[in-house]
Amino acid sequence: MTKTIEFYWDLGSTNSYFALHLIKPVAARHGAAIVPRPFNLGHVFRKQAYVLMEEPKVKLRARKIDLMRWARRYDLPFRMPTKFPMKTSPALRGALAMRRFGKEWAFMEQIFAAYWERNDASVGEVEGLKPIAAALGVDADTFARLVESDEIRDALAAETDQGLARGVFGAPTFFVGDEMFWGKDRMEFIDDELTSPSPPRAQREPAAARA
């Protein structure tokens, strides 16, 4: 049976950019399939009354320095985009549209590279996403109609709501079975879980907790 790693992501998440790259060698080492789960962080943040750029300036500055350390450590061409944060729901819906054509992951790689490596914020809009779909062999107008359809909009809402129901509160978040791992710095734990899966939760809870 093929092992799977579910990957909750949002294009506007700096850490999702790194996770996109760092999870691949882990999956390859175990022959595991990565199952992408677009997760609308903007919607979640609004529900939580959380505003990213209202955090203390010293924290934001330290976070940027830390992100550049990660980029150097893993030799990734990461850069902070000029337009940040931005609306990401069109890109998330775009990934779900490309799922129809078996090109979801390739699309994700392209939009993350555009935004986090080339400072191209056009991927925040459907018009900016159409050339990427076309380059991947999907008719741009067909792609745009799908992205704007009620079906795809509902699918993104369902993916996000299902993530919330599972306890996802941010991106990137990974699941291996029922085990949840939050953050780009959890790759070793995911590797351990794929090597030696945790027993079912019911077997790990004290008897009193299950009573």
Angle between helices 150-165 and 89-99 (to 10 degrees): 100
- Choosing among 3.10.20.90, 3.30.930.10, 3.30.750.200, 3.40.30.10, the CATH entry for 4-210 is 3.40.30.10
pLDDT band of residue 192 (cuts 50, 70, 90) is: very high
Q: What is the pLDDT of residues 11-56, one digit of tens each?
A: 999 999 999 999 999 999 999 999 999 999 988 877 766 556 667 8
- pLDDT at position 210 is 47
> Which percentage of the chain shows pLDDT scores above 90?
82
User: Residues near 20 by Cβ (< 8 Å), separated by ≥ 6?
Assistant: 7, 9, 108, 109, 112, 172
Give the E-state strand segments of the chain in sequence order. Answer: 4-9, 33-38, 173-176, 179-182
Do the beta carbons of residue 8 and residue 173 sit within 8 Å?
yes
Specify the long-range contacts of residues 201-207, CB closer than 8 Å, at least 24 apart.
none
Q: What is the pLDDT of residues 162-186, one digit of tens each?
A: 999 999 999 999 999 999 999 999 9
pLDDT band of residue 117 (cuts 50, 70, 90) is: very high
Q: What is the pLDDT of residues 120-150, one digit of tens each?
A: 999 999 999 999 999 999 999 999 999 999 9
- pLDDT at position 211 is 46
- Report the C-alpha gap between 105 and 95 in whole angstroms: 8
For the entire predicted model, the pTM comes to 0.90
pLDDT at 203 over 70: no
Q: Which residue has the higher pLDDT, 199 or 104?
A: 104
- The token duo for 122 is 């056009």
Q: Which residue has the higher pLDDT, 165 or 210?
A: 165
Domain boundaries, the chain: 4-210
